[in-house]
A and B are shown apart, each in its own frame.
Chain A
Amino acid sequence: MKKLSVKTVVAIGIGAALFFVLGKISIPTPVPNTYISLQYAIEAVFATLFGPVAGLLIGLIGHTLVDATSYGPWWSWIIASACVGLIIGLITMKLDINEGINTKKIVTFNVAQIIAHLLAWGLIAPVLDIVIYSEPLEKLFAQGLMAGVANIITTGVVGTLLLIAYAETVVKRGSLKKED
Chain B
Amino acid sequence: MATPIISFQDYGFQYMAQSAPTLHHINLDIYPGEKVLIAGTSGSGKSTIGSCINGLIPFAYPGRKTGRLLVGGKEPDKSSIFELSHTVGTVLQDTDGQFIGLTVGEDIAFAPENNCVPQDEMKELVERVAKLVDIDHHLEYAPHELSGGQKQRVSLAGVMVEDVKALLFDEPLANLDPAAGRTTIELIDMVHERTGAAVIIIEHRLEDVLWRSMDRIVLMDEGQIIADMPVAKLLAGRALIEHGIREPLYLTALRYAGVEIDEEMHPEHVEKLRLTEEHRAKVRGWYQSQKSHVGHGQAGEELLRVERLEFGYTPERRTLQDVSFTIRKGEMVSIVGRNGAGKSTLAKLICGFEQPLAGSICMGGRNLGGGDTIKERAASIGYVMQNPNQMISKPMIWDEVEMALVQSGMPREERQTRVEETLRVCGLYPFRHWPVSALSFGQKKRVTIASILVQRPRLIILDEPTAGQDYRHYTEIMDFLKELNGQGYTILMITHDMHLMLEYTPRAIVFSEGRLLADTTAARVLNDPDLVRAANLKETSLYTLSMACGIDEPQTFTECFIGYEQREGR
- Residues of A at under 8 Å CB distance from B? 164-165, 168-173, 176, 178-180
* Pair A165/B433 contact, Cβ less than 8 Å: no
**Bound Cα distance from A171 to B432, whole angstroms:** 18
Q: A170-B437, A173-B435 are in contact. List 7 more A-B contacts (CB 8 A).
A: A164-B395, A165-B395, A172-B437, A173-B437, A178-B430, A179-B429, A179-B433
Chain B residues with Cβ below 8 Å from A171 are 437
Question: With A165-B395, A168-B395 in contact, is A173–B438 under 8 Å at CB?
Answer: yes
Question: Do A176 and B438 have beta carbons less than 8 Å apart?
Answer: yes
Nearest Cβ distance between residue A16 and chain B, in whole angstroms?
Answer: 14
Q: Which residues between 405 and 429 of chain B lie within 8 Å of chain A, taking CB atoms?
A: 429
- Listed from nearest, the 7 A-B pairs whose CB atoms lie closest are A178-B430, A168-B395, A169-B437, A165-B395, A176-B434, A179-B430, A176-B438
Alpha-carbon distance between A172 and B16 when the two chains are bound, in angstroms: 13
- B299 adjacent to chain A (CB < 8 Å): no
Complex Cα spacing A48 to B182, Å: 45
Whether B435 and A168, one on each chain, are in contact in the complex, defined by CB atoms closer than 8 angstroms, is yes
Chain B residues, CB < 8 A from A170 = 437
Chain A at the B interface: SS class: loop
Residues of B within 8 A of A165 (CB): 394-395
Contact A179 B436 (CB under 8 A): no
Interface residues of B, count at CB 8 A:
14
Residues of A within 8 A of B396 (CB): 168
Contacting residues, chain B, for A180 (C-beta < 8 A) = 429-430
Binary flags per residue of B425-467, CB closer than 8 Å to A gives 1, else 0: 0000111111111100000000000000000000000000000
Verify B437–A168 contact, CB threshold 8 A: yes
Closest to A167 in B: B395
A172 and B17 within 8 A (CB): yes
Report the Cα distance A176→B433, complex, angstroms. Answer: 9
**Chain B min CB distance to A64 (Å):** 17
In the bound complex, do residue A169 and residue B395 qualify as a contact, i.e. CB atoms below 8 Å apart?
yes
User: How does the 8 Å CB contact mask read for B380-405 relative to A, with 1 for contact and 0 for none?
Assistant: 00000000000000111000000000
**Which residue of chain A has its CB nearest to the CB of B392?**
A169
Chain A residue with the shortest CB-CB distance to B436: A169
21 A–B pairs (Cβ distance < 8 Å), ordered by A: A165-B394, A165-B395, A168-B396, A168-B437, A169-B435, A169-B437, A170-B437, A171-B437, A172-B17, A172-B437, A173-B435, A173-B437, A173-B438, A176-B434, A178-B430, A178-B431, A179-B429, A179-B430, A179-B432, A179-B433, A180-B430
In the assembled complex, the Cα of A168 lies from the Cα of B393 at a distance in Å of: 12
Closest beta carbon of chain A to B533's beta carbon, Å: 39
A170–B431 CA distance with the chains assembled, in angstroms: 18
Q: Which residues of A contact B438 (CB under 8 A)?
A: 173, 176
Write out the residue numbers on chain B whose beta carbons fall within 8 Å of the beta carbon of A178.
430-431
Cα separation A110 to B362 with both chains bound (whole Å): 50
Least distance between A95 CB and chain B CB atoms (Å): 19
Kindly list chain A residues whose C-beta atoms are within 8 Å of the C-beta of B432. 179
Give Cα A168 to B433, complex, Å. Answer: 13
State in angstroms the CA–CA spacing of A179 and B432 once bound together. 8
Q: Which residues of B contact A169 (CB under 8 A)?
A: 395, 435-437
Interface string of B3-33 (1 = CB under 8 A from A): 0000000000000010000000000000000
Distance, CA A164 to CA B395, complexed state (A): 9
How far is A176 from B439 in the complex, measured between Cα atoms in Å? 11
Q: In the complex, what residues of A have CB within 8 A of residue B395's CB?
A: 164-165, 168-169
Give the chain A neighbours of B436 by CB distance below 8 A.
169
Query: Measured between alpha carbons, how far is A168 from B432 in the docked complex, in Å?
Result: 16
A18 to chain B, nearest CB (A): 15
In the bound assembly, the distance between CA atoms of A70 and B431 in angstroms comes to 48
Q: Would you give the shortest CB distance from A17 to chain B, in whole angstroms? A: 13
- The answer for the CA separation of A173 and B431 in the assembled complex, in Å, is 14
A120–B435 alpha-carbon span in the complex (Å): 37
Q: Closest approach, in angstroms, between the C-beta of A56 and any C-beta of chain B?
A: 23
When distances are taken between beta carbons in the complex, the residues of chain A under 8 Å from B17 are: 172
By a CB distance below 8 angstroms, the chain A residues around B429 are 179-180
Chain B residues with CB below 8 A from A179, complex form: 429-430, 432-433
Chain B residues 181 to 214 lying within 8 A of chain A, measured CB to CB, are none
Measured CA separation A172–B19 after assembly (Å): 12
Complex alpha-carbon distance, A178 and B436, angstroms: 14
Q: B431 — which chain A residues lie within 8 A by C-beta?
A: 178
**A180 to B430 Cα, complex, angstroms:** 5
Min CB distance B390 to A, Å, is 14
